[in-house]
A and B are shown apart, each in its own frame.
Chain A
Amino acid sequence: DTAVSQTPKYLVTQMGNDKSIKCEQNLGHDTMYWYKQDSKKFLKIMFSYNNKELIINETVPNRFSPKSPDKAHLNLHINSLELGDSAVYFCASSQDQGSYNEQFFGPGTRLTVL
Chain B
Amino acid sequence: GENVEQHPSTLSVQEGDSAVIKCTYSDSASNYFPWYKQELGKGPQLIIDIRSNVGEKKDQRIAVTLNKTAKHFSLHITETQPEDSAVYFCAASIKTGGFKTIFGAGTRLFVKA
Contact = CB atoms under 8 A, between A and B. Distances in A.
A48 B100 contact: yes
Contact of B98 (A4, A97, A108): A97
A106 B59 CA distance: 24
A50 interface: yes
Interface residues of B, number: 28
Given A92-B43, A108-B43, A55 B97 contact: yes
What bracket does the count of chain A residues touching chain B fall in?
20 to 34
Interface string B28-45: 000110101010011111
A102 interface: yes
A43 B99 contact: no
B41 to A, nearest CB: 8
Interface stretch (B13-21, B75-83, B88-96): B88-96
A55 B98 contact: yes
Contacts of B101: 45, 103
Contacts, number: 66
Contacts of B36: 105
A97 B98 CA distance: 7
A101 interface: yes
Given A50-B98, A103-B46, A107-B42, 17 more contacts: A41-B105, A42-B103, A42-B105, A43-B89, A43-B103, A55-B99, A56-B98, A56-B100, A94-B99, A99-B32, A102-B49, A103-B34, A103-B44, A105-B44, A105-B45, A106-B43, A107-B41
Interface of B: 31-32, 34, 36, 38, 41-46, 49, 51, 87, 89, 93-95, 97-103, 105-106, 108
7 contacts: A43-B106, A50-B98, A56-B98, A99-B94, A100-B93, A106-B43, A107-B43
